[in-house]
Amino acid sequence: MRRRSIFLTGFMGVGKTTIGRILAESLNIEFIDLDEYITAKEKKEIKDIFLENGEAAFRGMEAEAAAEWTGRDAVVATGGGIIESPEAVKSMKEKGYVIYLQASFPILYERIKGDKTRPLTAVGKEALEERFTQRITLYEKADIVLNTENKTPEQVVNDIKTSLADKRKT
Ligand code: S3P
Residue numbers in the chain where pLDDT is lower than 50: none
Q: From CA 101, how far away is CA 111, in angstroms rounded?
A: 15
* Topology adopted by domain 5-164: Rossmann fold (3.40.50)
Q: From CA 122, how far away is CA 158, in angstroms rounded?
A: 34
* DSSP symbols for 63-80: HHHHHHHTTSSEEEEPPT
Helix, strand and coil percent figures for the chain, each rounded to 5 = 60, 15, 25
Return the pLDDT at 50: 96
Ligand 1 atom with minimal separation from the 14 CA? 14
Cβ(156)–Cβ(19) below 8 Å: yes
CA of 47 to the centre of ligand 1 (A): 10
Q: From CA 20, how far away is CA 140, in angstroms rounded?
A: 19
CA of 114 to the centre of ligand 1 (A): 14
Return the pLDDT at 168: 81
Return the pLDDT at 1: 61
Cβ(117)–Cβ(39) below 8 Å: no
Return the pLDDT at 40: 98
